[in-house]
Homo-oligomer: A and B are copies of this chain.
Amino acid sequence: METTTTTGPADHAPGDYVHGYSGREARRLGDQADTLAGLLHDGTSYPAGSRVLEAGCGVGAQTVHLVSRSPGALLTAVDVSRGSLEQARARVAASVPGARVAWAHADLHDLPFGDGEFDHLFVCFVLEHLPDPRGALAALRRVLRPGGTLTVIEGDHGSAFFHPDCAHARAVIGHLVALQAAAGGDALIGRRLRPLLAGAGYGGVTVSPRTVYADPGRPALARGFTLDTFTAMVEAVGDEAVAAGLSTRAGWDRGVAGLRRAAGPDGTFCYTFFKAVAVNPPV
């Protein structure tokens, strides 16, 4: 069961999210979360009764894992997109019947919560899209009680490498990074989580790499991650990259074909996520 949807800011403009808001993109995010849940959520479980805020829940791809792994926690999930919140609500209702989540439409920089209202914050695949991730982290810290924890998970597209190596495939990944930068984000943010969190006033920052490696011996991962997550993400911004003059259509298609070969019978693919846990210093 879900509870209130707090009123919030005007809805987010679809163009602001580099991956778009299509149904296909929602499925991609769901596939990604399911494939990676064990790797990314390992070590994240909140005590019964603790007040947890998921900041930037999107379509709820991570929310379902949060409620499954911390069934007694009091979870609030916020997002800047009303459409995403509706999908998240539906996803949680379908995946974890009976789960209690408070949904709120809000901007991370202007959260409708009191100081120190939460024991724990969880932020996954959000900072990479923000022009001012350090400012967002500082704004989040306001609603975290002193001594409470923040968990941040982000990828880093510069961590991707594969066999057979392919200059076209490397190029399209570079174009995706450039598009995300042009939209104000940073697809290489994983490597700088530690300085970001320290700079936003958090203490006790520990960062761990979470590396995904897929080869023909792990066919579910080769399909679920190499093809349906990473390659699909690249493929989805092809029109935009061509329109921006970063690539020709033929060049884009060669790059995507190169990524697909990494999921072939002799292929391998490697990508590293980063998970940071930090503490709001006690007063």
On A, residues with C-beta under 8 Å from B are 156, 158-159, 161-165, 188, 191-192, 194-195, 205-209, 211, 213, 215-217, 266, 268, 270, 272, 274
Query: Taking each of A164, A206, A268, A274, which has the highest tally of chain B beta carbons within 10 Å of its own beta carbon?
Result: A268
Q: Write out the residue numbers on chain B whose beta carbons fall within 8 Å of the beta carbon of A158.
A: 161, 165
Instruction: Count copies of this chain in the complex.
Output: 2
Report yes or no: A163 in contact with B209, Cβ–Cβ below 8 A.
no
Q: Write out the residue numbers on chain B whose beta carbons fall within 8 Å of the beta carbon of A215.
A: 194, 207
A208 to B163, CA, bound (A): 15
Q: Shortest distance in angstroms between A245's beta carbon and chain B's nearest beta carbon?
A: 22
Q: Shortest distance in angstroms between A162's beta carbon and chain B's nearest beta carbon?
A: 7
A-B residue pairs in contact (CB < 8 Å), sample of 20: A158-B165, A159-B159, A159-B161, A159-B270, A161-B188, A163-B192, A163-B195, A165-B191, A191-B270, A192-B268, A195-B266, A205-B217, A207-B213, A207-B215, A207-B268, A209-B213, A209-B270, A211-B272, A270-B272, A272-B272
Report yes or no: A191 in contact with B159, Cβ–Cβ below 8 A.
no
Residue ID in chain B nearest A207 by CB atoms: B215
Q: Write out the residue numbers on chain B whose beta carbons fall within 8 Å of the beta carbon of A272.
A: 211, 270, 272
Residue ID in chain B nearest A194 by CB atoms: B215
Q: Write out the residue numbers on chain B whose beta carbons fall within 8 Å of the beta carbon of A274.
A: 213
Q: Write out the residue numbers on chain B whose beta carbons fall within 8 Å of the beta carbon of A213.
A: 207-209, 274
Q: Shortest distance in angstroms between A75's beta carbon and chain B's nearest beta carbon?
A: 28
Report yes or no: A217 in contact with B188, Cβ–Cβ below 8 A.
no
Report yes or no: B159 in contact with A194, Cβ–Cβ below 8 A.
no
Residue ID in chain B nearest A208 by CB atoms: B213
A191 to B213, CA, bound (A): 9
The list of the 4 closest CB pairs from A to B, nearest first, reads A209-B213, A163-B191, A195-B266, A211-B211
Contacting residue for A216 out of B192, B194, B209, CB 8 A: B194
4 other A-B residue contacts (CB within 8 Å) besides A163-B195, A213-B274? A194-B216, A194-B268, A207-B213, A209-B213
